[in-house]
Amino acid sequence: MPEGDSVHKLARRLEPTLLGRTIARSDLRVPRLATRDLAGREVRELATHGKHLLTRLGPGRDGSDDGVTLHSHLLMDGEWATTGPGKQLPRRMMPEVRVVLETDRGTTAWGLRLHQLDLVATRDEHRLIGHLGPDPLRADFDHDEAVRRLRAEPAVPLVSALLDQTKIAGLGNLWANELAFITGNSPWTPVGDLDVDRLVTNARRALRHSALVPGAYQVTTGSSRRGEDHWVSGRARKPCLRCGTTVLVVADLPDDPANRRTWWCPHCQPGPGPEARVPTPRSVRYGGGASA
């Protein structure tokens, strides 16, 4: 699943195609938005909050509003692609297109497999993302608020707390696993037992380094060599890069976004094992929590 740094880099990649350009033709290929037309609106900003992309557009031709936001979430397999003037995506990809935004200079942005797609007045964005926690990649990141939210449920296991987008937005499964290793804690250590202030500092530093430093995208070890770029994620049954102990893995709990597949080094990360996992209540799983 794309994480906050993935979506931040996506927004920057879309800027040369869309930012400051006027939409000449739009096509929103989801039933409830199919009649909405974005033609004539200027793309003012490509903002992100956690894993959410917010394409902010100016007023329409009739001046009936102050601007709208096209909200998209990539979930597991969504993506955006761009083409130059007069170009289209390969025919095999067209059935997966959900959004077409063609600009006044002929460049086009294509949204594929976008399972969450909304169009709201920009002033009403809070209805879609107001539940999210602070985002380490945003200029308005509130460190103290992220700490407060994480401490509010001290018994929640570390990885589950980091995956909960209502506590801190933008950390997905890769970062939850890597941060548990970097801080030297079992993934299932109750978050209240940790130095949460330091945890948030490390999370912000790691996510910003990944998103903003060329060549550093999701490299957690400092080495971009294949098989050495992550401390534990994806390294099941391989020797720990720090101590040589075999890295272990436990499968996810079905339909439980707070208990994803988890990797850890039992030597470098002492503490509770996967038997300490806390299944997420069904009402929380589908109510905008960890996967929001």
Write out the catalytic residue numbers: 2-3, 51, 260
DSSP per-residue string spanning 204-247: HHHHHHHHHSTT-TT--SS--STT-S-SSTT-TTSBPTTT-PBP
- Ranges of H-type helices in the chain: 4-18, 126-129, 143-151, 158-163, 173-182, 196-212, 282-285
130 Cβ contact list (under 8 Å, min separation 6)? none
What is the spatial distance between Cα 170 and Cα 94, in angstroms, rounded to a whole number? 29
> Taking the mean position of all CA atoms in its chain, how far away is CA 88?
27
Under DSSP, the state recorded for 279 is P
The answer to whether 264 and 232 are in contact (CB under 8 A) is yes
What is the spatial distance between Cα 196 and Cα 221, in angstroms, rounded to a whole number? 22
